[in-house]
Structure 1
Amino acid sequence: MAFEGGNLNMALAAAVGDDASLVRDLRRAFLESADRQIDLLSRAGDESAWHLALWRLKGLSGSFGVVHMIALIDEAQGSAPGDAKIVRRLRSALDMLSAD
């Protein structure tokens, strides 16, 4: 997972250059947005809400090059809304990114 954090950091650095403050702010924004979408997934009561949150999380992850998260999201597409196992796996992946 450290590689994933590296991808996030590289994507941010490529977007904004050497501005450490801006990289930090964008990283925080990514983590907060991803956390919000995972929370919505955990509370999704129907297919529509589930797929909308997955779609948003996938777009966010794609924008920042977080490939492992995208693979988990692709796997989640076939899961039932609110699937606790996949939500835990996504939360774990996000926690690993937060720790980098």
Structure 2
Amino acid sequence: MAYDPGAIDAALAAAVGDEPALIAELRLAFLDGVTRACTQLAAAETVEQWRTAAARLRGLSASFGAVRLMGLAALAAEARPGDPDLLAKIRRAVDAL
């Protein structure tokens, strides 16, 4: 899976045009949503909670072109809840955003 550091900004620019303030606001909203989904993933106590959080993370990532994070979220949906290695990879991918 490739990571394109400009993919999120490019997706936002395509959606809203050349509006730097709006792009910045939407980027912050995206990062807030991703952070909440990651928190829910880490706190999941059941398979259903884990898969719901993984699906939310995957959807957000797909919407904003975060390909690596989307791939990791897809892996999470099939992984055992609380997988520490996968959670660490997801955290690193979020930090890279």
Q: TM-score, normalised by structure 1?
A: 0.89
Structure 2 counterparts to residues 3-42 of structure 1, below 5 A: 3-42=3-42
Q: CA deviation at 1:31?
A: 0.5
Counterparts of 1:35-54 in structure 2 under 5 Å? 35-54=35-54
Greater displacement, 31-40 / 69-78: 69-78
What is the number of residues matched between the two proteins? 95
Q: What letter matches 2:53 in structure 1? A: A
Q: Which runs of 5+ in 1 are unaligned?
A: none
In percent, how many aligned pairs have the same letter?
Answer: 40
Q: Which has the higher contact order (CA 8 A, sep 6+)?
A: 1
Q: Which runs of 5+ in 2 are unaligned?
A: none
Q: Per-residue CA shift, 1:25-59, capped at 9, x if unaligned?
A: 00000011001101111110110000000111111
Q: Which runs of at least 4 in structure 1 moved beyond 3 Å after TM superposition?
A: none
